[in-house]
A = this chain, B = another copy of it.
Amino acid sequence: MKKTHNQSSEQLMLRAIELAQKAWGQTHNNPMVGALIVHQGSIVSEGYHQLSGSQHAEIMALEGFKENADKDTELFITLEPCSTPGRTGACTEAILNSGIKKVFVGTLDPNPHHAGKGLDFLKSKGIDVVSGILEADCRDLNILFNHWIVHKKPLCTLKMAVTLDGCLAASTGQSKWITGEKARTDVMRWRRLFPAIGATQSTVLNDNPQLTSRLNEKVFCPKRFIFNRRLKGIEDFEKYSVYNDAFKENTTLVYGEGSSKASIESLKQTGLDAWEVGESEDGLLFEDFLSRCAEASLCGIFIEPGAKLATHLIQNKIADYLFMYQSPKLLLDQKASSLGYERSSQRMDESINLSDIRRSDFGEDHLVRGFLKL
């Protein structure tokens, strides 16, 4: 076990975050949580929540802790321990029983009905509680869970790659590649996190993407939604990866209720899974689609849209979260694909701003991500 001499509480919490991330994409619709115990200057036990239904991170850490807690024994947890006995029993009770007198917590329970209650319980029992250690990082660990637990809807997330001058593709439609390999590997990481991914039929026809996560030889296929309002190209569906690969059962076509009977008949013959959703003047009613995702308990969808769909979802406040990978290049092409409508006029203070902004560099590229609305 690692020595903690000279390790700050931030460094120890960072280790707890690393532990939590061992279950990256595997805990839905539960949060990722990491925990560790420091005793006599060393980390003596570590734990994380491995998958929904399995033991909580702090319980795993407590079970691995074989010494007797003394006044310097410390428990670090990325998330406030639960105070209600769920499938696994209340963690606050287990902490109390462990004899540990000092607890460091990253972030509060995002459920407003529970937030702070676990900590209040521990404090009422004489336990020294320090909360807010790497708070933003611990909260960021669970962007999907935090949204789900409050709204009971999937976090509708858009991912785009863009040049410095705002182009999503060249005027020829070509977008391979705006960003370099490192940024594209990061996309694979996020595809592994989200339980569902979305793309338009145009993307399928143009790029024939796999829409899987491919990381270190490991292939993971989230639920794949293809937005195809009028069931375009349904006759030729077998030509495309998402409809014929080993994960084809993970693919669901999303089409509009106004599609022709003939198209719907063709669809039936394909045997593909499909959802019919409502329509507005602008196209598919994404509100309908997302409600259906909620019914299917999907806590997040990672949509890789074209410019038109992205503009629609942002402007209509349907999208919750944005990943924007930025490449340090310029196309200088007014006809290149970019976000936006033909508006009449607009003031600077009418812009749509990101919040809870996180930034990372991937080689020469840069990712900015954040919430599109509070």
Contact = CB atoms under 8 A, between A and B. Distances in A.
Contacts of A357: 328, 364
A177 B348 contact: yes
A334 interface: yes
Interface stretch (A74-82, A168-176, A232-240, A293-301): A168-176
A244 to B, nearest CB: 28
A305 to B, nearest CB: 13
Contact of A352 (B332, B334, B335, B366): B332
A326 B328 contact: no
A361 interface: yes
A328 B344 CA distance: 23
Contacts of A332: 311, 314-315, 339-341, 343, 352
A333 B357 CA distance: 22
Chain A: interface size category: 35 or more
A163 B368 CA distance: 12
A332 B343 CA distance: 8
B331 A171 contact: no
Interface of A: 162-167, 169-172, 174-178, 311, 314-315, 324, 326, 328-336, 338-348, 350-354, 357, 359, 361, 364, 366, 368, 370
Contacts of A336: 340, 343, 346
26 contacts: A162-B164, A162-B165, A162-B166, A166-B167, A171-B346, A172-B347, A178-B348, A311-B332, A314-B332, A326-B368, A328-B353, A328-B354, A328-B368, A329-B352, A329-B353, A329-B354, A330-B351, A332-B340, A333-B340, A333-B343, A333-B346, A334-B342, A334-B343, A336-B343, A336-B346, A359-B366
A361 to B, nearest CB: 6
Contacts of A169: 348
A342 B346 contact: no
A3 to B, nearest CB: 19
A324 B329 CA distance: 11
Given A171-B346, A332-B341, 19 more contacts: A162-B164, A165-B340, A169-B348, A170-B347, A170-B350, A177-B348, A315-B332, A328-B368, A328-B370, A329-B351, A329-B352, A330-B351, A330-B352, A331-B340, A332-B352, A333-B340, A333-B343, A335-B343, A354-B364
